[in-house]
Amino acid sequence: MLEKATFAGGCFWCMVSPFEEEEGIEEVISGYTGGHTENPTYQEVCSETTGHLEAVQITYDPDKFSYEKLLGLFWAQIDPTDPGGQFNDRGESYTTAVFYHSEEQKEMAEASKNKLESSGKFSKPVVTKIRPASAFYKAEEYHQKYHRKNPLHYKMYRHGSGRASFIKKHWSV
């Protein structure tokens, strides 16, 4: 039986590719969640008036790719210590969060966050929030699978924003 996982990791363009490449991941959708405006547009979310965060919603087969593995992959795409956004993207809509869909996901997310905090990997506190899932609104079509539609721009953005070098420095084995 397929399940959902929802993660906000800053710019959703950069959060699709790492997940969709994994066996057991059925779908990754870019969208908006966590706010109070119904059916927000990208411009509205960027205006910081909706309360929404850019996020990805993942449909996955937990027998092929566990929620714990999803959490590990999520952490390895972000700077969990940045309360003001991610890399060059600043503001509430670019902050990080794990949106849980069940009590089991909540417990696993909290345990995963606590493990990361106590690991000593970062000198600053882990500020990524663990929040209940709420309505998820699919982003405009031009945002879906952006890395495939605009590979050169995506690659330049990922590197230019500082995300790629941060991941390499902090998450590479």
Instruction: Give the catalytic positions in this structure.
Output: 11
- For residue 163, what are the contacts with CB-CB under 8 A and spacing of at least 6? 10, 11, 14, 77, 86, 87
- Residue pair 147/77 in contact by the 8 Å Cβ criterion: no
According to DSSP, the β-strands at 96-100 and 129-132 are parallel
Tokens 């706010």, residue located:
35
- Tally the residues of the chain: 173
Estimate to the nearest angstrom the gap between the alpha carbon of 101 and the chain centroid.
Answer: 15
